[in-house]
Amino acid sequence: MRSVLVTGGAGFIGSNLVLELQTRHPEAWIVVVDDFRSGHFSNLEGFRGDCIATNMAELDLSKRFRDGAFDAIFHLASITDTTDHDQKRQVHDNVEGFRNILDWASHDQTPVVYASSAATYGKAQSVMTEETEASPQNVYAFSKVQLDNLARYYHQQHPAWKIVGLRYFNVFGPREAHKRHASSMIYQLFQQMKAGKRPRIFTDGEQRRDFVYVKDVVEATILSLMAPDARIYNVGSGESASFNQMVAALNRSLGTQLEAEYFENPYPFYQNFTQADISLAQKELNYQPAFNLDRGISDYVDWLQKETSS
């Protein structure tokens, strides 16, 4: 790759992707677009490319870039706070930003990989396949369903165009601290336990989530350029773990023995169960997660400990 556009590149997953692309393709020119509402400049320490600070829904791509300027586009820009219930802002920014990308990229059909979400599945009770019917429980999830709809529509107009959607499950790992209350439960519990406090989780701690480490997510995102066709893939670990298991793994990594403190879940739209069927990504992308929950938390805690001590 000679040139790459990454929207949302100062965010959590975006910054990890940008820095990995820079490592793998040191001669490539990487352009980040981010309005820094959901991202942070510190995530891009060591970045050697270009950074454009603007809302993706408002950027005039035709004025800024020539047609065919990029070999690949990774579209991760989004309002990611699921507790932000401003429907107009969520739908406008998330959907129109993607429409802007597709309208411009359709001229030369530059490959586009975009971030969808496991939130589109809603309160499913069983393992989620790409064919599981969408059932968004909040406006964030609704906006991601619209991205999937747009991708299908543009692909129908341009059948040879590779537009790949990735339904990320419960991602955790380095460079998420700026998200604060929207950061992963793993990060939030680490902060509590590191301070010697009991980890606070929802009653009775048996909610199960597919926790996937950001390094695996970045690998799947890069592999998606090799997809045989335009389609959507689940990106998770392929396993579900309870919040109690998460606390136990954190205790092991921190060398603590803190018991959970339970409280009632205040969110009626909360997904109590997620687990990705990743067989399609395994088959077509050769995606093989390298981190289970224990190994991911251990690696992450090591990184966090180094960050706080430096």
| Active-site residue (options: 114, 121, 140, 233) | 140
Domain CATH code at residue 55 = 3.40.50.720
Tell me whether residue 287 is one of the annotated catalytic residues. no
Phi-psi region of 130 (alpha: psi -120 to 50; beta: other; left: phi over 0): alpha
Asked if 140 and 202 sit in the same domain, the reply is no
Our count of domains for the chain comes to 2
Do 33 and 165 share a structural domain? yes
The pLDDT value given to residue 310: 65
pLDDT digits (tens, 9 = 90+) for 47-87: 999 999 999 999 999 999 988 899 999 999 998 777 777 89
pLDDT tens digits, one per residue of 195-252: 999 999 999 999 999 999 999 999 999 999 999 999 999 999 999 999 999 999 999 9
> Are residues 298 and 220 part of one domain?
no
Instruction: Output the six-digit token pair for 50.
Output: 């270009």
* Catalytic residue flag (residue 168): no
Asked if 88 and 106 sit in the same domain, the reply is yes
Burial of 24 (0-12, 13-18, 19+ CB in 10 A): exposed
Residues 127 and 245 in one domain: no
pTM higher than 0.85:
yes
Q: Are 82 and 180 contained in the same domain?
A: no
Domain co-membership, 149 together with 74:
yes
pLDDT, tens only, 274-291? 999 999 999 999 999 999
Domain limits at 183? 172-209+240-269+291-309
Do 110 and 251 reside in the same domain of the chain?
A: no
Same domain, yes or no: 246 and 128: no
* 29 shares a domain with 10: yes
Same domain, 42 and 70: yes
- The active-site residue, picked from 114, 121, 168, 179, is 179
Q: Are residues 204 and 217 in the same domain?
A: no
Q: Would you state the pLDDT for residue 118?
A: 96
CA–CA gap between residue 72 and residue 189 (Å, rounded): 36
